[in-house]
Structure 1
Amino acid sequence: MKVLDQFKGQNFMIYNGDSTEVMRGLPDNSMDFSIFSPPFAELYVFSDSERDLSNAKNKEDFYDQYRLILKELYRVIKPGRLVSIHCMDLTTSKWKDGFIGISDFSGENIRLMQEVGFIYHSRVTIWKDPVQAMQRTKALGLLHKQIKKDSAMSRQGLADYIITFRKPGINEEPVTHTNETFPVDIWQEYASPVWDGGDAIVPFEKRYSEPVWLDIVPGDTLQRQSARDERDEKHIAPLQLSVIERCIKLWTNEGDKVFTPFLGIGSEVYQSLLLKRKGVGIELKKSYFEQAKKNCKAAEEMPEQIDLFDGVF
């Protein structure tokens, strides 16, 4: 296990190093759940390190490196347990790809996860405001002037996704809930549409259990400014804390180990600690790792955190 630095809290362990190399030192079948947002191929550059997945010279190289991480992920996740990946489809450009269109990044994640052995389990669509996307990116397909010029090039906005996978095998420690800890109405918000009992559909804003999460606030993320270096690309793809919370609440028990191979500034571990789980994460970029240390320590110092990690590492 080649580790540049590491930091152990009462209920978490985080590593500064290359995910592929560090994961090789983690025990087989040792993690109960994993949730992460991988670098979006060729979209964002997070550092100038040649080991950074976001710095792959092309998409083929990116997926070759990414596959190595996913193979290790399959090994460390317990049988019958889940992995949730936050991703979106990506736009192509004429100067880079030769055409204007959409790259199926979510589909590539599904293909790679199935290739290494996972079962495709579920997908949630996270609504995003196309007006904000248009203002930020000036994407041709979202511009109103394109409607007047040639709407054959107009398109809808791009959503985020949480795509979830299950490792084959028997889950030896079932994730159990009760009517008190996970009431029926809460489950309905997570699972399937609720009808009004007649022919009409419940009004859109009152539906529960949608396969689309409409209420995720884009800015519901940990502070990121202090983790940036002057040389780095300024685009960041944060994962909202509310998304992490929902996945952890649904798919883990208290005391479970939640793992992320792309720790960033610590969002997944941070939320795990607040929800009385253990957190394990790996981050290559030193400034992000240093910020993750502060964030995870802050979470652990909040009230009602107990020592769940004693004897684990």
Structure 2
Amino acid sequence: MPRPDAPTIPAAPPAEDIPPLVLDQASGDAWNLYNADCVSFARNLPDNSVDLAVYSPPFSNLYVYSESIADHGNCASDAEFFDHYRYLVREKARILRPGRLTAIHVKDLVYYQNSSEDGSAGLRAFSDGCTRVHLEEGFAFHCRITIYRDPVLERSKTNAHGLLWKTFQGDASFCRVGMPEYLMVYRKWAKPGEESLVRPVTHPKDKVPLTRWQDLATPVWRTNDIDLWLPYGDPRRTPHAQVWNLRDPGQGDADLPSTDVLNVAIAKDERAERHLCPMPLNITKRAIDLYTNRGDVVWSPYAGIGSEGVSALSMGRKFVGTELNPTYFRQGAKFLAEEAQASAYGSLLDLMEGASW
């Protein structure tokens, strides 16, 4: 239930009054992707039908992904963005299976000089705003997973005053640390009478080693997957679990590879976007691995070029997603079809290897 102090906003129109406008669609044996507005489409999804909602929402008005008025990135302020985003979170609370979770990939944002209301520079706690909306719509805050980002790469890309060596020498009171990203996780608790809808996520110890859980349980997820299968204390593990390479940014064992995303260049549309930032495959797969069973339904309302869907299919899950930008939709459908075919081929090889000849 929403908190008593939640702000009053207009109720969403009944789903039957706003049929989803599906501009295009594509599907396979275990996936469906729709070129449609995520909110109007979500209103028509069945109650308690999704096992995990994982996605990267628009970062307020930082990026615009399409020219549509329905694009949540087409907003004038953070307040306006959260007013719009609330409608999706409300539908998500209805669609998600009781006892399951939603994981969203976000980061805090920057106020540059003269860009804030009072003109001062600083940070905007965008991740906290996402938590506030989820709490007000009935979710419980489950956990915050930090995703390390190299401050040297951030400095080279943004030339942020607070990360400059010159600033550190001249007046370090202006210095700040690099900005990580986060995977914010929220739970939909089962209500009285919904116990039969709860489906536990299980990881039998004969199939998943203890070291896998020990690594997933860390508050900062490592991105060197070689370490995941080596026990604690093994000399082949990364020393101190995490090493960041400041001489060669992005090459440290804890640095998230910038290439660990689906191909962005072929999906670029200069007319309809400022920037495309697909959700990292490594992080997506970890969330799916931790919070779902094989055969579960994974949903992404902002499917982009299909990162969450490709990850889900590669791990034996089902996927449903929406994407408003037609260019991204077409590329996402292509990636999903290719992954479905590759996964089916892999399953056939597994069966052949296990057969007795």
Larger radius of gyration: 2
CA distance in 2, matches of 1:109, 1:152: 29
* Gap runs ≥5 in structure 2: 1-19, 220-230, 244-252, 349-357
Q: Distance in 2 between matches of 1:144 and 1:232?
A: 36
Match of 1:257 in 2: 297
TM norm structure 1:
0.90
Superposition pairs of residues 133-212 of structure 1, within 5 angstroms: 133-169=154-190, 170=195, 172-192=198-218, 203-205=239-241
TM alignment of 1:22-171, pairs within 5 A = 22-97=41-116, 98-169=119-190, 170=195
* Equivalent position of 1:210 in the other structure: none
What amino acid sits opposite 1:216 in the alignment? L
Tell me which amino acid in the other structure corresponds to 1:107: D
Per-residue deviation, 1:122: 1.1
**Cα offset for 1:291?**
0.4
Q: How big is each residue's C-alpha offset from its partner over 1:82-115, in whole Å with a ceiling of 9 and x where there is no partner? A: 1001001111122321111110011111111111
Decide whether aligned partners of structure 1 residues 157 and 192 sit closer, same or farther in structure 2, where only a CA change above 3 A counts. Answer: closer
More displaced, 41-50 or 248-257? Answer: 41-50
Mark the runs of 5 or more structure 1 residues left unpaired by the alignment: 197-201, 208-212, 307-313
- Other-structure match for 2:332: 292
User: 1:55: Cα distance to partner?
Assistant: 1.1
Task: Work out the CA distance in 2 between the residues paired with 1:225 and 1:74.
Answer: 34
SS at match of 1:145: helix
How far, CA to CA, are the matches of 1:161 and 1:230 in structure 2? 28
Q: Is 2:292 the partner of 1:271?
A: no
Aligned amino acid, residue 174 of structure 1: P
TM-score, length-normalised on structure 2?
0.79
The Cα shift of 1:11 comes to: 0.5
Using the alignment, how far apart are the partners of 1:273 and 1:260 within structure 2? 13
1:204-246 deviations in Å (ceiling 9; x for gaps): 2379xxxxx9353222000011222222344222211111111
Task: Note if contact 1:273-1:305 (Cα within 8 Å) is conserved in structure 2.
Answer: no
What is the root-mean-square deviation of aligned Cα atoms in Å? 2.0
What displacement does 1:192 show? 4.7
Q: What is the aligned partner in structure 1 of residue 24 from structure 2?
A: 5
* 4+ runs deviating over 4 angstroms: 192-196
Offset of 1:254 from its aligned partner?
Answer: 0.4
Deviation at 1:52, TM superposition (A): 0.9
Letter in 2 for 1:104: A
Query: Within 2, Cα distance between the matches of 1:85 and 1:135?
Result: 26
* Number of aligned residues: 296
Q: Identity across aligned pairs (percent)? A: 38
Deviates more, 1:80-89 or 1:42-51: 42-51
> Which one is further off, 225-234 or 261-270?
225-234
Distance 1:195 1:92 in 2: 41
Separation in 2, partners of 1:9, 1:181: 28
Q: 3-state SS of the aligned residue for 2:327?
A: helix
Helix, strand or coil at the partner of 2:115: helix
**Using the alignment, how far apart are the partners of 1:46 and 1:89 within structure 2?**
19
